[in-house]
Amino acid sequence: MTSPSERYHLNITRRHLLQNASKSVGAAALAALSSSGAKVVSAADPRLNTHYNAKAKHVIYLFFSGGPSHIDMFDYKPKMRDFHGEELPDSIRNGQRLTGMTSGQKSFPCVAPMFNFRQQGAHGTYVNEILPHIGSIADEITIIKSIHTEAINHDPAITYINTGVQQPGKPSLGAWLSYGLGNPNENLPAYVVMISKGRGQSQALYSRLWGAGFLPSRHQGVNFRSGKDPVLFLSNPEGVSSASRRNMLDVLNTLNANEFDEFGDPETEARISQYEMAFRMQTSVPGLMDVSDETEETLNLYGDKSRQPGTFARNCLLARRMVERGVRTIQLFHRGWDQHGSLPRLFKLQCEDIDQPAAALVRDLKRRGLLDETLVVCGGEFGRTIYSQGNLSKDNHGRDHHGRCFTTWLAGAGIRKGFEYGKTDDYSYNILEDPVHIRDLNATILNQIGIDHNRLTFRHQGLDQRLTGVEPARVVREILS
């Protein structure tokens, strides 16, 4: 089925072109308001009645950029103490491709966690002792220990889990949700991104990770910053009043209404829609970002850093406020999990940054009656190796990237409580039971918001593109209540 813009370009004739050529100046004026070289994309913006009853109305994705160590957080293996310092057996590594950071190493000594694990909750879930707050919500979450990916380096891995492919250019998860379900909120974007930086080694983040790819650009995520202007260029320039901006938008809408049937450029329509949203956000965003109306009890729940803009704690609090205001998808990128060295020190600091706020978010949503309709996802692009990167000393080591198995936890919106899924070997290196590919994880997220991942598609370059790609993917129904 062809889209409106495709039909327009297929049906245009020479006579039609000559008759309307005089209007090209007006079209050029509108195009100048868009970014140069903006491509024409489909005007289709389906508002799906969800394929089945949705458990979730909102998704909050806590993304720990850099690869948090599943070995040191959730994947408890008591036998690691026995082979600490010994060489990783070839039978366990089994020819796995290594990154450039460790491919030249002659020795691969195994490293047991330098912190202890404690059993938490009614089910006795093992959680590292430096995550006491997340441990305290063990009965609210499902921990998947068998996530896996083919990517072994940061950029392809983080692109893969966020967009479904390792190569740049495809839409992100939040963009797909915006495209499929629209925006239920007139005053805020359907997809909001916030970034914080922890106290570990950081990798770069790129806006394409929350971009729209080949989807209409209005579906891309909006990056909210911690400074005076949370959204770039949202404030009126000096000398421009709200009334004059409103008048400009009215003129654009009138011009576009007269010209759209002739030119059929959905990108222009999208840009005007974005200008309209920006106008409304000038009122809604300041109120959203001002947390002065939060009680001391709530601020204390998230921790002292919730009072500091730009921190993970403040962003978790803002995520809850966005859910209350109807934002569909919120993604919090927290940087600093790339611990190739000094892991014991940096890992502890990172866990201190995220432990209380992440647990507080789940607790806060629950006490306000929002957890049942909000899916919380927490994880990174891959895990870390059992073997040490560089020299192993008594109190120091690093870990390299590991995609064969890592851990993600979920809560709310139809997710089983106090449940663990998947099993790895004693080295936390290979999956023994119940593998979950990152495509399966994305299919499950879509399922909880009422979307069949096979049916949410967009035709591009002759292919019905989808978030989960063309390879098999399944909903992990075992973790659903």
Length of the chain in terms of residues written: 481
Residue with the two structure tokens 């239920």? 184
pLDDT on residue 260: 52
How high is the mean pLDDT of the chain?
A: 86
Answer with the residue of higher pLDDT: 258 or 192: 192
- Per cent of the chain over pLDDT 90 is 69
Residue 54 reports pLDDT greater than 80: yes
> Hey, where are the domains in the chain?
45-232+283-479
pLDDT on residue 45: 38
In three-state secondary structure terms, 60 is strand
| 222-224 vs 191-197, strand pairing mode | parallel
8 Å CB contact between 171 and 118: no
| Bridge partner residues of 411 (DSSP) | 141, 376
pLDDT digits (tens, 9 = 90+) for 57-66: 999 999 999 9
The CATH number, out of the four listed (3.40.50, 3.40.720, 3.90.1720, 3.30.420), of the domain defined by the range 45-232+283-479? 3.40.720
CA angle at 26 for the pair 20 and 32, rounded to the nearest 5°: 130
Residue 298: how many CB atoms within 10 A of its CB? 17
pLDDT on residue 312: 98
Report the range out of 11-15, 57-61, 95-99 with the highest average pLDDT.
57-61
Is residue 200 very low, low, confident or very high in pLDDT (cuts 50, 70, 90)?
A: confident
Is residue 317 very low, low, confident or very high in pLDDT (cuts 50, 70, 90)?
A: very high
CB burial of 397-426 (b: ≥16 within 10 Å; e: otherwise) equals bbbbbbbbbbbbbbbbbbbebbbbbbebeb
| 458-460 vs 463-465, strand pairing mode | antiparallel
CA angle at 409 for the pair 404 and 412, rounded to the nearest 5°: 150
Cα 271 from Cα 35, distance rounded (Å): 9
Please state the φ and ψ torsions of residue 436, each to the nearest 5 degrees: -130, 110
> Model pTM?
0.84
Q: How far is CA 305 from CA 71, 132, 311, 316, 319, in A?
A: 27, 17, 6, 11, 15
